Amino acid sequence: MSAAAKKILIVDDEEDITILTEKFLQLEKYDTITCSNGYDALDIVEEKHEEIALVLLDIMLPGMSGYEILTEIKSKYPKILVVLFTVKNFFEDIQKGKELGADGYLVKAISGNEIITYVKNILKKKNNN
């Protein structure tokens, strides 16, 4: 990931969630890309991996699970931050994400301000390392 990596990729098949999350991030001047399935997500990461700083990734997606996408991204581009962004908030889900290399876990029921705060903090933490 280059020093210029600033884009946030939002991968979610729920259009309302994607639109709201994108609007919140854009209000804070984040550059976003969205897609609704794993195959498109992997294509975007492959094409734009040097520009992407963070992926907000749903677990339940059509065709390919968020866990599979997480594994693919982390195996090729381990410096890209991947945060699971999902309604699944069981301990087993969180643990599985951590084991596969997720950098964080957000439950979708949080507010826009909480999303912004979380994104700022995780990107700041990454930039300080």
Give the model confidence (pLDDT) of 69-124 as tens digits. Answer: 999 999 999 999 999 998 877 888 889 999 999 999 998 878 888 999 999 999 98
Q: Identify the CA nearest to 59 among candidates 49, 73, 44, 70.
A: 70
- Which whole number is the average pLDDT over 24-48? 96
5 has a pLDDT exceeding 90: no
Helices (H), the chain: 15-27, 38-48, 66-76, 91-99, 112-128
Domains of the chain by start residue, with CATH: 7-128 (3.40.50.2300)
Report CA-CA distances (Å) from 90 to 28, 58, 97.
30, 14, 11
Question: Residues 88, 92, 94, CA angle at the centre, nearest 5°?
Answer: 60
Mean pLDDT of the chain, nearest integer: 91
